[in-house]
Chain A
Amino acid sequence: MLGKQKLKAMTGYALKEAKRLGVGEAEVVIWGGTEELTRFAQNHIHQSVSLTDTQIHVRCILGRKIGVARANRTDPIGIRTAVARAKMLATLQREDPHFHSLPTRNTYRRISRPRKGDKHIGSSGRAQAIAIIIRNALEHDLVASGAFSESDSELGVANSHGVWAYHIGAAASLSSIVMGERGSGFASQNTKFGSGITTNEVSDTAIYKATHGEFVDVPAGEYEVILEPPAVAELLDFFGWLGPNARIYHEDVSFYQGNIGKQLFDSSLTIVDDPFQAAGYPMAFDYEGTPKKKITLVNRGVAQNVVYDSYHGHKYGKENTGHALLAPNTWGPIPTHMVLLPGKQNVSAMIKRVKRGLLITRFWYTRVVHHKKLILTGMTRDGTFFIEHGTIVGRARNLRYTESVLEALKDIRGIGNDLSLEGSEGSPSLVPTLHLGKFRFTGVTQHG
């Protein structure tokens, strides 16, 4: 980690160099840090890795011609080289008639700082935690695998209009899959520091999922489902990418098109993009240095807002909502801090209300089948359980679903009170357990 002052000096040096070369507008983003990850399988640690790097990204704009260069050499020669390359590319570019300007200077909301005692536990601490998971698995004749990662990162954004923004981040994640004769079980925790992970909770949940229930035959068909947070987060990722994304919304590729202000979902559903949630990975600005703010995407089932960066905001005459990704971004601005607001029900009470359905731990390999209907397909994985008359009566082999998320979210029968942080630091979401009235499964595999 280089620190705020060094990053500020580096971005300033790059901007001066751009000015010296006659570049009218320039943006410099520098980010870096260290990520360490300890991975285990077959009841031992088989991979233990670390990566440290710093990268510089320079966007030079000549009139409306834009060139971008990225490099990881960040000494003065490296910075000058990156600036010169970005300028050279801009020189060779064609005018982009939709480009207006980079954002101007701003102030940023202060985000939550680490609490006293928050810290990374390092490779030996991670190994100790993994040893606990393995010991617990062996006591149940199970085979444990998983990963424990910790990272520190920093990001500086500056441009020739006076923007300077600095962010420091940390993330930690422990996941475990344990496997036995009855199938596999998964559990994970995501937070900011390894010291905040409760290893035994992860271990106990994964073991319960792997050992609970005998296999029962569950054929493909339509079922009520209880989706646990990892499964909900996977669906929400596709919602964010294909729904309130300004680029595809205005291209008429999004299911949001023509539906703003309409009741698209069950009235119990509210989704916001809230970058300031302390329980998540808070972020005060986007990759152009525009301040972030809370945006309501779905309010009581009504599609509400689309998110913008500076380019799409200008192109379509809308306010920039602070959702820029690193330029050049050909995917469009997307909400990266989604929160599906929790309900009041606990999961065991939700299960009791299921007549005939499935409890799903998580989905795997989800892909888009139909954009405008948001039909997705994927598999269940690591703990799929069959429920009859409010009781889990056995475990199911993994099933393939092919379902319209738009349709599925029209019939929400319960929202849990168990908000959970899922996903990575780059695209986290806070989601509860959901009880849906119907969900279509189109195939079954041979294992569970």
Chain B
Amino acid sequence: MVFTDRVGSSPTSGTSFMNFDHIAHTALNALELSRVSYGDLKVGQYQKEHIATKDGVVEAMESNDSMGYGIRVVKDGRWGFAASSDLSSAGIHATVKKAVVLARAAATVKADPVILTQESPLRGTYKTPYAEDPFTVSMDEKVSFLLAADESQRRVKHLKISQAYYTGWKQEKLFASTQGHWITQTLVECGGGIEATATNASDVQSRSFPNSFRGQFVTGGFENVRGMKLIDNGQRIAEEAVALLSADECPGGKRDIILDGNQLALQIHESCGHATEGDRALGWEASYAGTTFLTPDKLGIFRYGAPIVNLTADATVPLGLGTFGYDDEGVAAQRRYLVRNGIFVDYQTSREVASILQKTVPGYDRSSGGTVRSEGWGHLPMIRMTNINLEPGDNAQSGKAWKLSDLLADTKNGIFFSTNKSWSIDDKRLNFQFGTEIAWEIKNGKRGRMLKNATYTGMTPVFWGSCDAICGRDHWVVWGTPNCGKGQPSQLMHTGHGASPARFRGVDVGVLKR
């Protein structure tokens, strides 16, 4: 019984890059026959496994395996992209043809031709370093681990819901282009977390560990999940969830605030990460996610934040969820400053965006920043955050590498916010409002009463301009965000954000109390 003519490897037998080779050679031949001025393809196999427990019951245990390819062409000066899971020769030729038809249709509307920066056509391989392949750890062991983490929360009276999560991903992919790129990569990611929820007639309060939205995620092996101490923290977060029900509401007004690393990570993501995407700056995301206040005329001169604020795009940092060897247009992973000593100095770029910036921004001579990725094999590669990091406080560069205890002791009247609960920002990445699962009042250098429904709001450059202290590398963690949405059709991407706790002066807090 044959439903489709496919030549791919068996999904469970491990990917054979030889099959990828066959697909790539077929596609490159088809691209040559189509006389495109540029063409590339990504063929990949994407595996995912996910387990979720709730109240001691395993409510999700699933695996997902997807294989296919996406082909990108420049024809008549415009882009076309087509993706398919039909791995037959006929299917590959048809997909190339479709990409060409799409490009030609795009070319009927007048535009400047696509130009890419000159880059060496790299050939290479990359594999995520790890000690323990998450896909070889037995599901039985993972389930037992999560059930123990779930159980650890339910020791607390009055807890309504206990949950635990694990997700692992593996992508094996080959990138090739008509310019001679030939790159294979195996990326392994995993993570997990726990979440305790308490309720009463008028309120719902949740606490998560190590982070909200199903936990902390890294590129790396299962040893990182074992090291998360989920079971050790179950009772504590459950107690906090219950205590939050009777905690005081976050007061309103202006306060000095300290953001915990896991909250600061999302602040970086929304107000710096998206704001420095080069495609947004050129208006290419206007139809969905919006544009950015960081317009090209501000490059190199705009004060984004205080002089101690240094933000980098770094796809090389160990464990970062945006760490890889090469991006999805064959550019090597790299580390670049986006904000240096408080000044906006660069965008996240692709080959095309860098080429446009070279032409339109005086003095801009940088090549692609290597930040192009796509979700799976079926979506168009576009600029996506890698690991967008707030560099830690450093005694040499930024005055001081604070310890969190010293920072709390140095704050007279403030609020310490931890673990994101709510996040919203406008379409130019200026006006934001965040809420956290938990907060504590700081009075005369001491952490005081617990606060619930804590929120803070501000305008991006004003907020980052108020940053006067950043904790040092001892506190620095690359937090994984596996749910970054962008593009049409919408794509979810995995990004990382290195952050240590930091202080911001005079911030509007407590929107519900105003």
Contacts and interface: CB of A to CB of B under 8 A. Distances in A.
Interface of A: 2, 6, 9-10, 13, 35-55, 66-79, 81-82, 85, 89, 92-94, 96-98, 122-124, 126-128, 130-131, 134, 143, 145-147, 149, 175-177, 179, 184, 251-253, 258, 328, 330, 364-373, 375, 377-379, 381, 398, 400, 402, 442-447
B84 A52 contact: yes
A105 to B, nearest CB: 24
Contact of A402 (B143, B160, B379, B433): B433
B64 A70 contact: yes
Contacts of B380: 47, 49
A370 B95 CA distance: 47
Contact of A37 (B64, B103, B293, B489): B489
Contact of B512 (A123, A131, A369): A369
Contacts of B110: 44
A253 B241 CA distance: 13
A326 B511 CA distance: 37
Given A43-B111, A377-B422, 16 more contacts: A38-B106, A42-B282, A52-B84, A54-B85, A92-B139, A94-B57, A122-B105, A143-B286, A328-B62, A377-B511, A378-B424, A398-B426, A400-B457, A402-B512, A446-B431, A446-B459
A285 to B, nearest CB: 22
Given A123-B101, A328-B61, A48 B78 contact: yes
Contacts of B254: none
Contact of A50 (B98, B201, B455, B512): B98
Nearest to A365: B424
Contacts of B10: 77, 81
A143 B491 CA distance: 25
Given A367-B424, A377-B433, A251 B455 contact: no
Contact of B143 (A92, A96, A127, A258): A92
Contacts of B64: 69-71
Interface residues of B, number: 91
A262 B266 CA distance: 39
> Which are the 3 A-B pairs with shortest beta-carbon distances?
A44-B111, A328-B60, A123-B105
A73 B87 CA distance: 10
Nearest to A66: B61
B83 A51 contact: yes
Interface of B: 1-6, 8, 10-12, 52, 54, 57-68, 78-86, 95, 98-99, 101-103, 105-106, 108-112, 138-140, 143, 147, 160-161, 197, 199, 201-204, 282-288, 290, 293, 378-380, 422-428, 430-431, 433, 435, 453, 455, 457, 459, 488-489, 511-512, 514
A68 B68 contact: no
Nearest to A71: B65
A47 B4 CA distance: 29
Given A49-B489, A96-B59, A365-B425, A70 B102 contact: no
Contacts of B79: 46-48
B147 A372 contact: no
A179 B1 contact: no
Contact of A177 (B84, B112, B287, B423): B287
A91 B417 CA distance: 43
A41 B1 CA distance: 47
B283 A41 contact: yes
B84 A252 contact: no
A6 B435 CA distance: 50
A89 B489 contact: no
A237 to B, nearest CB: 15
B62 to A, nearest CB: 4
A372 B201 CA distance: 8
30 contacts: A6-B3, A38-B105, A38-B106, A41-B283, A41-B285, A44-B111, A46-B106, A47-B79, A47-B488, A51-B83, A51-B378, A67-B61, A72-B65, A75-B6, A81-B10, A81-B12, A122-B105, A127-B109, A146-B287, A251-B161, A253-B161, A328-B52, A330-B52, A370-B203, A370-B453, A372-B202, A381-B290, A402-B511, A446-B293, A446-B428
